[in-house]
Structure 1
């Protein structure tokens, strides 16, 4: 099967590597002038992996889309809408299957990425999501993991799972698109919180963060019409080890560096997601204490240690 991956950052390059590993014909696209694409073109590798020579590299978006049956998108969540405005104008989009392989919410609207996709590409477009735990550094060492694929169309879910399931990644069928998208995006928020606890010397509170974080996020999923149990699945709780504890997690590392006053230069999608959750909390009138605390720290610039301690020492109440 012909597969194209749009986006040649860390995860996009891994997706191209993985699609080749499961015996597909792969094209990896990057923006013209992209530093990542130039490095891959010159060396066919980056700091995480080496791409097989059979993976085709291009900056021609129209050709990358035209040549593929399944198109994986791995770019910044905040760039998705503007990117899709370009993609939507390309010819030959009928019957293409698109898979969103990033985790986030649109910051200024709180919209899920499949909502953004449908608004820009049309309600008839075929789209799914590929979510769940796993780091490039582990997969390339043949350490397996489990992930989840979901869509409003069960045919899309099955097609993607059948195309990519292997002994390295076992896929599950996602049954709740709202819960999976919210869960995947918000695990990055909890990753930032975990990093802040690490940086402030409060790592022992990460257990409480896990317990209370899942509770508050299940409430917003339920309010939005999803299944609150989904938060306890692979897209959110299942991704905690890879996000709250791993040295490879950009979001956890961002939180730790923020507390220590160290500049952080990589993408931490959870920052924009904190802003999106602030909108959703107000829209659905759901209290999100942890998310609100991070909003105070990141956007209102309140003192980190005090906010975190106040958060976990809130007035006594029943746990459930």
Structure 2
């Protein structure tokens, strides 16, 4: 299959490498101003992996016309502007796959909802979510992930085309829940990093338990299935997000409370703003998300805000 991957960061470049190994005809797009693309064009290596010559590198967005499947792996807040650019090429009959986790801050929309504003009637959109780090996949360490879409045919097409011994894909059956779970696990990751930075790592078990329950309530309020919070999109991704040294969100949270700079993308920083809008819209109490928001955007003391989560008024667990 002809596949174009839009976004040449660590995850987009891994996907291109992975799908090339699956025997697909893969192109990897990055902007002319992208340092990642400049490095790939010069050495085909980004310090994490080396791209084979069989992968076409391009800075020409119009080449997307040639693809059957368009995989998007960019900053979630840049999705709308990317789709506005793609609209100029009047793309038809495409299967889009979002390999990114987040929400649009300005509207509070899920990313598939943003996509639906731009797609033609014969195109479909899916999400690719779940645990795993580029560094581990590249070393051959396998993991399980999930693909979800509104149409069963879209899921069938993608899972058959993408599955391998390295990544076992499961069929998702709750697009709302999976999107919310994938986005919010990054907020929990930031909270976990804050606990690490404060020397409170032993509270991560409680954080995981209560975080999953909190997000399941939001899923249900939005019309999804609360059980999805316990699947690969959320709880199943906690090891990679809450504990791993490779987790950008966990590291961001740790360095934030230590008052140290972090120059990589932590999607949870943006997602928590959108999630607080949803909390108000759907009247759902999200204490962990609220605490992270207070610390990041209202200047609240991290230790005080996080401690308050675990000394709230006494109540039954479930």
Q: TM > 0.5 between the two?
A: yes
Which residue of the partner structure matches residue 37 of structure 2? Answer: 37
Instruction: Please name the residue that 2:71 is paired with.
Output: 72
2:291 aligned with 1:293: yes
What is the aligned length?
318
Q: CA deviation at 1:125?
A: 2.8
2:127 paired residue number: 129
Report the equivalent of 1:146: 144
Which segment is superposed worse, 153-162 or 37-46?
153-162
Q: Which runs of 4+ in 1 moved over 3 A?
A: none
Task: Within 5 Å, give how 1:159-308 maps onto structure 2.
Answer: 159-308=157-306
SS at 2:117's partner residue? helix
Contact 1:118 1:125 in 2 (8 A): no
Whether contact under 8 Å (1:135, 1:242) holds in the other structure is: yes
What is residue 84 of structure 2 aligned with on the other side?
A: 85
Instruction: Say whether the 8 Å CA contact 2:159–2:169 is kept in structure 1.
Output: yes
Hey, what does 2:109 align to over in structure 1?
A: 111
Whole-angstrom CA distance in 1 between matches of 2:279 and 2:106: 13
Q: Deviations over 1:221-263 (max 9, x none)?
A: 0000000000100010000000000000000000000011110
Q: 1:38, 1:188 → 2: CA distance?
A: 29
Give the Cα–Cα distance (whole angstroms) in 1 for the partners of residues 309 and 125 of structure 2. Answer: 38
- 2:299 and 2:86 map into 1 onto residues whose CA distance is 37
Partners of 1:218 and 1:228 within 8 A in 2:
yes
* Offset of residue 107 of structure 1: 1.4
> Which residue in 2 is equivalent to 1:3?
3
CA apart distance, 1:123: 5.6
Mapped contact 1:108–1:275 kept (Cα < 8 A): no
- Contact 2:93–2:122 (CA<8 Å) still a contact in 1? no
Taking only aligned residues, the RMSD between alpha carbons, in angstroms, comes to 0.9
8 Å Cα contact 1:129-1:149 kept in structure 2: yes
Gaps of 5+ in 1: none
Contact 1:133 1:239 in 2 (8 A): yes
Report if the CA contact (8 A) 2:189-2:242 is conserved: yes
**2:25 equivalent to 1:25:** yes
Q: SS of 1:120's equivalent?
A: coil
Counterpart Cα distance in 2 of 1:213 and 1:122: 37
User: With structure 2 as the length reference, what TM-score do the two structures score?
Assistant: 0.98
Which residue in 2 is equivalent to 1:99? 97
CA–CA distance in structure 2, aligned partners of residues 301 and 217 of structure 1: 24
Question: SS at 1:138's partner residue?
Answer: helix
Q: CA deviation at 1:96?
A: 1.1
TM-score by length of 1: 0.98
**Does structure 1 conserve the Cα–Cα contact (< 8 Å) formed by 2:248 and 2:266?**
yes
Paired with 1:47 and 1:177, the residues of 2 have a C-alpha distance of: 34
